Amino acid sequence: MPQRSVLSVLVYDGDCAFCTTSVNHLMRRLRPKCTVTPWQCTDLGALGVTRRRAQHELLYISPTGTVYGGAQAIAKTLLRAGGIWAWPGGALTLPPARWIAQGIYRIIATHRHRLPGGSPACAVPTEYLPGCPLATG
């Protein structure tokens, strides 16, 4: 059984410059109460997440172990930030905003290597991020 955290965990692709820049900006602006970590430096099994899923999308894991991906991970992060950010976070959890947000998220995720700050490495999942002892598979 996966271990549960007191805080939520936001897992992103640390080998993708676009993803890293986006998450850093998000964290500076919102300051949600969660741990932020690249999947390459994370014991994904302990979070109940597969490597394949972590390579595919941003993940938000609640303290109870519920996993949200893509646009819903962003919505949960906004909700966790509270204050004025909770309004758009809540809106993103409801249809049709939820469906639209997921579609937009998927387009951005698919083309992240072409976006500002992106690089060819953003498009190709890597085996590990240098310096991460947990990133052995």
- Digit-coded pLDDT (tens) for 112-136: 877 776 655 555 444 444 455 444 4
Is the pTM value of this prediction over 0.85? no
pLDDT exceeds cutoff 60 at 13: yes
pLDDT tens digits along 99-110: 999 999 999 888
CB atoms within 10 A of CB 52: 9
Dist CA 125 CA 95 (whole Å): 31
**Please, which residues bridge with residue 133 across strands?**
none
Bond before 63 cis per omega within 30 degrees: no
Q: What is the pLDDT of residue 31?
A: 84
Contact call for residues 17 and 119 (beta carbons, < 8 A): yes
Residue 36 in tokens: 């932020």
CA 86 to each of CA 57, 93, 126: distance values in angstroms, whole numbers, following the listed order = 22, 11, 34
What are the pLDDT digits (tens) for 34-82?
899 999 989 999 999 999 999 889 999 999 999 999 999 999 999 999 9
Max Cα-Cα span within the chain: 42
Burial of 70 (0-12, 13-18, 19+ CB in 10 A): buried
Percent of the chain scoring above 90 in pLDDT: 51
